[in-house]
Each structure stands twice: as C-alpha cells, then as structure tokens.
C-alpha cells in the first residue's frame, strides 16, 4: 500500500481504527475522517507509535452535516490530487427518531446519505487514482427497507429497523455504484464485519439490550481485529476474488438477497432526490 492514499470514516474507534492501523502498517497514507477530533487524535498517536508510519492524518467529518462533508472534501482536495481507497465505515444507531438537516431520519442520513454525498464529492480524486476502490461497510443485519417510507412516516419508528434498513441500502447502492463507475475503472464492494459487540455502535442500548448482546457475542461474536480483516483485505489485495459490487464476508463473496437492479436504481434516485437541494452545481452527477 505504499504511495496509496486512503480515507476511512469513523476511524477513531472500533473496526475503523483497527483498519486504519493495519493499512498504516502496510505503508498507506491514511486520512482518519472523524466527528470527534479528541478521540481521533488520540487514536492517531497510538497508530503512529505502533506502526512507525507518520503519514496518518486526522480530519474533521460529521456525516450528519452537509457543510462538514463539503468542507472535508474541499480540504482533502487542497492536499491530495488522488484517492486510491475510500472506506465508508462510520455508522450510527440511535434510540430515538431524529430528523437531519436534509429532512431525513438521522440514521439514514448518516449511514447512507452522508457517505453517498462524500463519495460523489471525491469522484474526481478516485478517478485520478484509477484503478481505485470504494468499500462500504454494511452488515448481515440488514432488511426492512421501504424506499417510499425511509422517514417512518407510515410506520412506527423502530431503532433496530432504522439501522437495518440503512445496511440494506448500503448493499444495494454498492451494486448501483458498480454499474455507474465501471467505465471509470473504480471498483466498489460492500461487506459485513460480522457481529463485533465491543464497538461503540451499541453504546445506546438499554440494560436488556446489552445483556442480549453479551449472550449473542458468545455465539457469533467477532473481535475488532476479525471485524476489520475483510475491510483491510478489500482495500489492499492486488486481486479480489469476487464481482464488482459484490457483498463480502470473511474475504469471500456471498450471494446478496437484496439483489434487484430496478430497486437499486430506484433507491439511488430517492437518495439523489434527498441530496439535490444541497449539492453544489459544480458536482458532476453520474448518469
């Protein structure tokens, strides 16, 4: 990974931090895109100390804020003219329904729309590095997406379903991106890190939820290192044994039950509808 430039969102903790460390060990120039600068800078110090790689940088990124996403992309552009790997890792699981500045339920706004906009704003840099890669951290814990009711206006809000529908969307949009970027020599993959109970994702769980997580962890739990392994592999392997747009688990492609090109395109268009009001005119839309 020497001379490769990598961005990882949510790299201050959990599997994002571990992936950043492993890629730094391989010699990559790593940008940690994080909402909390304090914890990100602390994580950076640990990574640099352990890997000896000084080319690890912290940049502020709040995926719930359009201005923050735009500012991050602009600052990155001023420093780098290429991006070899974009890892969309950051995720949110919130107990209560909140509406973002985009007018979209917050879990979807962060886990899906924030990364969608970030990817679009960095397309030129990805094209400059081609063959380049985009990696979307999804999950096996996915389903229940209703494209016409993303905001739970017809359904009662449920925090678990709100999270699950974003992970289904991540997997679906990965395949739509693959079709649209194939001519640009940019590969894109989604993956499940497996159930990693020690991540910050589950910090808002109540006592019962935390107990159930501990029980489930004994059955199917993975360590942070195991959760990050497929991310690092997809980012660094010379050749990926699997299809562009594929969904991966433990370095192997799995059949995705949400594979439906028509619905994937419809979801893409719905996301673009949400984002259209905030995009700069200079952003070139992929047709």
Catalytic residue set: 163
**What is the DSSP track for 43-91?**
HHHHHHHHH----EEEEE--TT-HHHHHHHHHHHHHH-S--SEEEE---
C-alpha 229: how far from its chain's center? 15
The one-character DSSP state at 157 is P
> Which strands form 132-137's sheet, in the order they lie side by side?
56-60, 29-34, 5-9, 85-88, 132-137, 186-192, 247-249, 252-254
Helical H segments across 92-158, by residue range: 106-108, 115-121, 123-128
| Pairing of the two strands 5-9 and 186-192 | unpaired
Count CA atoms within 13 Å of residue 117 on its CB side. 30
Whole-angstrom distance, CA of residue 163 vs CA of residue 51: 34
Determine which helix (DSSP H) or strand (DSSP E) holds 8, and give its type and residue range: strand 5-9
Q: Assess contact for 204 and 95: CB atoms under 8 A.
A: yes
């Amino acid at each position: 990974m020497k001379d490769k430039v990598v961005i990882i969102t949510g790299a201050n903790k959990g599997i994002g931090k571990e992936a950043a460390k492993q890629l730094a060990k391989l010699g990559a120039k790593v940008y940690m895109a994080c909402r909390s600068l304090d914890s990100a800078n602390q994580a950076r110090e640990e990574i640099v100390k352990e890997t000896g790689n000084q080319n690890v940088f912290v940049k502020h990124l709040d995926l719930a804020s359009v201005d923050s996403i735009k500012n991050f992309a602009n600052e990155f552009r001023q420093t780098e003219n290429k991006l070899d790997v974009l890892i969309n890792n950051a995720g949110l699981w919130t107990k209560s329904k909140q509406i973002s500045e985009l007018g979209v339920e917050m879990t979807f706004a962060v886990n899906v729309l924030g990364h969608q906009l970030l990817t679009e704003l960095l397309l030129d840099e990805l094209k400059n590095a081609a063959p380049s890669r985009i990696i979307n951290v999804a999950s096996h814990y996915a389903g229940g997406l209703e494209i016409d009711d993303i905001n739970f206006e017809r359904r009662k809000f449920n925090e678990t379903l709100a999270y699950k529908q974003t992970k289904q969307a991540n997997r679906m949009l990965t395949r739509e991106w693959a079709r649209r970027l194939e001519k640009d020599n940019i590969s894109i993959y989604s993956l499940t890190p497996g159930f990693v109970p020690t991540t910050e994702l589950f910090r808002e769980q109540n006592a019962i939820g935390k107990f159930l997580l501990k029980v489930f962890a004994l059955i199917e739990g993975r360590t942070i290192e195991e959760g990050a392994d497929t991310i690092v592999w997809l980012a660094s392997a010379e050749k990926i044994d699997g299809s562009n747009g594929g969904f991966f688990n433990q370095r192997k492609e799995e059949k995705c039950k949400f594979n439906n090109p028509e619905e994937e395109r419809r979801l893409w268009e719905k996301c673009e509808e949400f984002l259209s009001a905030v995009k700069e005119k200079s952003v070139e839309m992929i047709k």
